[in-house]
Amino acid sequence: MRDVSAVAAAFRTAPGFGSSPLYSHLLAVVAQDQFLLELAARTRIGQQPTFALFGAVHHLLLQGTPDPLADYYASVAGSHARPVDAATGPTFVRFCETHFARIAAILATRLVQTNHVQRALVLRLGLALVRRSTSAPVCVVEVGASAGLNLHAGSYAFTVGQATFGDRACPVRIQVEVPPTDLLPDLDQLPAIADVVGIDLDPPDLTDADDRAWLRALVWPENTRQATQLREAMNLVAANPPQVLRGNAIDVAPGVARALPPGLPRLVVHTATRIHVPAEDQPAFDAAIAAFGVDGPLLHLALEDDQRVSPSGRPGLGLTATDGAVSRTIAVADGHLAWLEPLAAINEVRLGS
Ligand SMILES: C[S@@+](CC[C@H](N)C(=O)[O-])C[C@H]1O[C@@H](n2cnc3c(N)ncnc32)[C@H](O)[C@@H]1O
C-alpha cells in the first residue's frame, strides 16, 4: 500500500480537473476522508491516485452499478445530471464503502492509461518540425502510448485554430483552439515514415471489451465530446493497430533505439506519461529517451507536468522540444490539448545530431 500522507498530498495539491466540476469537488472530499485516502493508497506505485480512484469509480458506474452517485455523472445521467451539491461528497463516500473490494481490485490491477486523442497533435507537430529540418524518412516512437491511438496522428482530421489539416474525411476529428499565429509549421507537410512503434507498461487491447471500457472510464464524466472522439479512434485503430511493445520504457527503450536504422532521424514523443513514472525512476526514464539520440538525429517532444502560463495568461503545460542537447519550451497547452499557444522558440527547433 502507498504512503497515505503522500496520497493525501496528491489530492490536496492536484492542479484541479478543469473541465470536470465533479472531480474538482471530489478532490477535497477525498483529501479530508481517511477511509477514502486508504482506499486510494491502493493505487499502484507511480500512478496518480487522483486519476486512478476517480477512474475506478467511474468504471463501476458506467458498467451499470446502480447507485444514487450515478445521478451526478453526465456520462451516465446525461444532460439531466445533478450538479454538485452538499450531498455529493457523502454519496461518493457511501459508494466507495459499499464497493470497496471492487474498487480496490481495479486499483491493484489497472494503470492510468487515458489515451486522449487530442494529444495526437503533439506527434503531428513533431512530424512537421522534422520535415522542416530534413527530407529523410523518420522513425517515430511514442513512449507511454497506451493503446497507440495517437500513433495514428497521420490519419485524423485536424482543425487547429482556423486551419484544417490531415484526412478531412476521417471520423476522428481533433479540434484545438490556437490563437492566430504564423509560428506553426504546415501540418500537412509530413516526412515519410520509416518505422512506427509505441512502448507501454501494459498496452490495452482494443479488441478486448474490458480494456476499452477502462479507457472510456478514464475520460472525465462531463467530457462527452472526448468520449465520442475516443470511441471513434478506438474503432479506427482496432482495425489497424500499431505495434506497441509491452514493458517499462527504462528497460525497453534502449533496445528499441538500437534496432532503429542508424542515421535516420528519430521523433520520440511522450505525453502524460513521465508524470506517472515514480520520481526515483525519472532520471533512468530520461536516460532511456536520450538513448534514441545515440545512432541518429533526435527530436524529443514532451507534454508532461511542466506548469506554465501561456502568452495570453492561461495556466497550462509546457510542450518541450529537445534537439541535440538543447531543450526549449515551444508552446504552452492545456493538458488535454483543448488549446495550444505556440512560442517563438518553436522556430529554433532543428534535429539534433
Ligand atoms: C495517461 S496515459 C497517456 C497515454 C498517451 N500518451 C496519451 O497522451 O494519450 C500514460 C501511459 O503511460 C504508460 N506508462 C507509464 N509509465 C511508463 C513507463 N515507465 N514505460 C512505459 N509506459 C509507461 C501507462 O501504461 C499509460 O498507458
Cα–Cα distance measured from residue 142 to residue 113, given in angstroms and rounded to the nearest whole number:
14
Bridge partners, residue 267, by sequence: 140, 299
Residue 149 in this model has a pLDDT that exceeds 70:
yes
Q: How far is the CA of 244 from the centre of ligand 1 (A)?
A: 11
Going by pLDDT thresholds of 50, 70 and 90, the confidence category of residue 352 is: low
Percent of the chain with pLDDT over 90: 94
Going by pLDDT thresholds of 50, 70 and 90, the confidence category of residue 1 is: confident
200, 215, 248, best to mutate for ligand 1 pocket (most atoms within 8 Å of CB): 200
Q: What is the DSSP letter of 185?
A: -
CB burial of residue 282 (10 Å; 0-12, 13-18, 19+) = middle
With the C-alpha atoms ordered 47, 48, 50, 51, is the resulting torsion angle positive or negative? negative
Q: Per residue in 36-55, pLDDT tens?
A: 999 999 999 989 999 999 99
For residue 111, give the ligand 1 atom closest to its CA. Answer: 25
Q: How far is the CA of 66 from the centre of ligand 1 (A)?
A: 31
CB burial of residue 100 (10 Å; 0-12, 13-18, 19+) = middle
Q: Are 267 and 130 in contact (CB under 8 A)?
A: yes
Cα–Cα distance measured from residue 183 to residue 331, given in angstroms and rounded to the nearest whole number:
10
Q: Which residues of 27-49 are buried (b: 16+ CB within 10 A; e: fewer)?
A: bebbbebeebbebbbbbbebbbb
Please, how many CA atoms are within 13 Å of residue 248, restricted to the half-sphere of its CB?
A: 12
Ligand 1 neighbourhood includes 276 CB (under 6 angstroms): yes
Average pLDDT of the residues in 104-118: 96
Q: How far is the CA of 79 from the centre of ligand 1 (A)?
A: 31
The model carries a pTM of: 0.94
Residue 3 in this model has a pLDDT that exceeds 80:
yes
206, 248, 276, best to mutate for ligand 1 pocket (most atoms within 8 Å of CB): 276
State how beta strands 298-309 and 193-200 pair.
unpaired
How far from 171 is each of 123, 158, 218, 232, 336, CA to CA, in Å?
A: 19, 11, 21, 7, 19
Instruction: Give the dihedral of Cα atoms 142, 115, 108, 221; nearest 10 deg.
Output: 160
Average pLDDT of the residues in 244-251: 98
| Mean residue pLDDT across the chain | 96
Q: Are 259 and 295 in contact (CB under 8 A)?
A: no
Report the pLDDT value the prediction gives residue 325, as an integer from 0 to 100: 80
Report the pLDDT value the prediction gives residue 67, as an integer from 0 to 100: 98
Phi-psi region of 312 (alpha: psi -120 to 50; beta: other; left: phi over 0): alpha
Q: Per residue in 7-37, pLDDT tens?
A: 999 999 998 788 899 999 999 999 999 999 9
Residue in the structure block whose three cell numbers are 445533478: 82
Average pLDDT of the residues in 228-241: 97
Cα–Cα distance measured from residue 296 to residue 137, given in angstroms and rounded to the nearest whole number:
12
Q: In sequence order, what are the residues at sequence separation of 6 or more whose Cβ sits closer than 8 angstroms to the Cβ of residue 281?
A: 46, 250
- Domains of the chain, each with CATH number or no CATH: 4-109 (no CATH), 117-204+216-348 (3.40.50)
Report the pLDDT value the prediction gives residue 125, as an integer from 0 to 100: 98
For residue 150, give the ligand 1 atom closest to its CA. Answer: 9
